[in-house]
Structure 1
């Protein structure tokens, strides 16, 4: 019995180690950035228009109110998964997105970008473009996937890839009084400046010609 128990313990330890290796490999792949050539890969400005309807709907016990139709081609500058904060029930992932000059590898190499606590941070020892262009051509955006397929694509997206998102900027209201309201401007900063997107369609690709 002692020999059998020892073999079982060794096998269990081996399975645990194999599982940890697989998790580490997945995290490495998920976080590995995609390199891109120089040039503005997402030159178009985001398109924001009045919503087709102001009718609200319910999603995961929240009331969703459309504020604007939204369409954006951008480069993924950062991705952060959220599982435990109040908003995670609606939005499992934030994407920091860049377009125009902030989709150009030559410009981005001067920046360090990170995300935490639903915020997007950038810093640069030498500014290759004016700060106003950084502000107006990049943003942290909270993703609310409209369905499981969109959720899987957003979660699998990697830094450096190009993304085309279509949906709506929204306000979300919980039954507990909590609310989340999207910015409707690309030039604001600070609290409330992030876009909250109801993502109806998400296309992700490595190169602009693949979009």
Structure 2
């Protein structure tokens, strides 16, 4: 086979793989009141505690073949401790990326780099060496979390694609509960004090920037 044909086939294959990984255009969540908009709240000042305002009467909206209910307005600025992308697990259709994020002292690179941080299976894990944790474990729990990101549109999905470890991200959106049409449910934590199963935030992200 001529060399130029091999090159053409390779380029075409890479293009198909890229297109398959990127997926179709994202449709925003919609309900009786129209498209779900960003919450009207300011972003937190610096790498401080996330801002959260609980809502008890938010309308249920549709997100593809899922139903989504906002639980709280949410905004934060945090350091990226790690990222993990998913393509084949049950949640990947709505949330293809998890970010492990840290704020307060967990945003300090001198602190979090003393931890062995990993992600997988929708979990965020950390270990420390013989010298012990760099800060109290309770503070690590309160000041970091694994967050499942649900992009609201293509622009947000592109912004998430650009995020890298050690960057700072500033995002705004909603902590949500998502129910698939087969009845399976995925619900965000509403606490910064929990850890383990069910402690991750599930965020419908309508604004995100990294720097």
**Bucket of the pairwise TM-score, normalised by the shorter protein:** 0.7 to 0.9
**Matched length:** 180
Give the TM-score, by structure 1 length.
0.79
Mapping for residues 30-179 of structure 1, pairs under 5 Å: 42-51=46-55, 53-125=57-129, 126-179=132-185
Shift of 1:96: 0.4
Does the 8 Å CA contact 2:56/2:71 hold for their aligned counterparts? Answer: no
Give the TM-score, by structure 2 length.
0.79
Instruction: Supply the distance in 1 between the matched residues of 2:74 and 2:127 (Cα, whole angstroms).
Output: 28
Shift of 1:124: 1.0
Instruction: Supply the distance in 1 between the matched residues of 2:164 and 2:5 (Cα, whole angstroms).
Output: 33
Instruction: Supply the distance in 2 between the matched residues of 1:119 and 1:21 (Cα, whole angstroms).
Output: 30
Does the 8 Å CA contact 1:81/1:155 hold for their aligned counterparts? Answer: no
Work out which of the two has the higher radius of gyration on C-alpha atoms and give 1 or 2. Answer: 1
Any runs of at least 4 consecutive aligned residues in structure 1 with deviations exceeding 4 A, and if so which? 12-22
Report the RMSD for the aligned CA atoms in angstroms. 2.2
Shift of 1:19: 8.6
